[in-house]
Structure 1
Amino acid sequence: MTHQSPTGGLEFAAPAAATDSGAIRVLLADDQSLIRAGLRALISAEPGMEVVAEAGNGDAAVRIASEAHPDVILMDIRMPGVDGLEATRRIGADPRLQTVHVIILTTFEEDDYVFEAIRGGAAGFLVKDTEPAELLRAIRTVVAGESLLSPGATRSLVEAFAAHSKPSAMSPALDALTERERQVVALVAAGRTNQEIATDLFISPATTKTHVSRAMIKLGARDRAQLVVFAYESGLVRPGWTP
Structure 2
Amino acid sequence: MSQPIPTPPKLAKGFRVLVGVKRVIDYAVKVRVAGDGSGVVKKNVKHSMNPFDEIALEEAVRMKESGVAGEVVAVSIGPKEASETLRTACAMGADRAIHIISDCDVEPLAIAKVLSKIVSVEQPNVVIVGKQSIDDDSNQTGQMLAGLLSWPQGTFASSVTFEKEEKDRALVSREVDEGEESLRLTIPCVITADLRLNEPRYATLPNIMKAKRKKITTVDIGKLGVDVKPRFEVLRVMEPPTRKAGSVVESVDELLKGMREAGTL
Pick the TM interval, shorter chain: 0.3 to 0.5
Q: Which has the larger radius of gyration?
A: 2
Question: Highest relative contact order (Cα 8 Å, sep 6+), 1 or 2?
Answer: 2
What TM-score comes out, normalization by structure 2 length?
Answer: 0.31
Higher normalized strand content (fraction of residues): 2
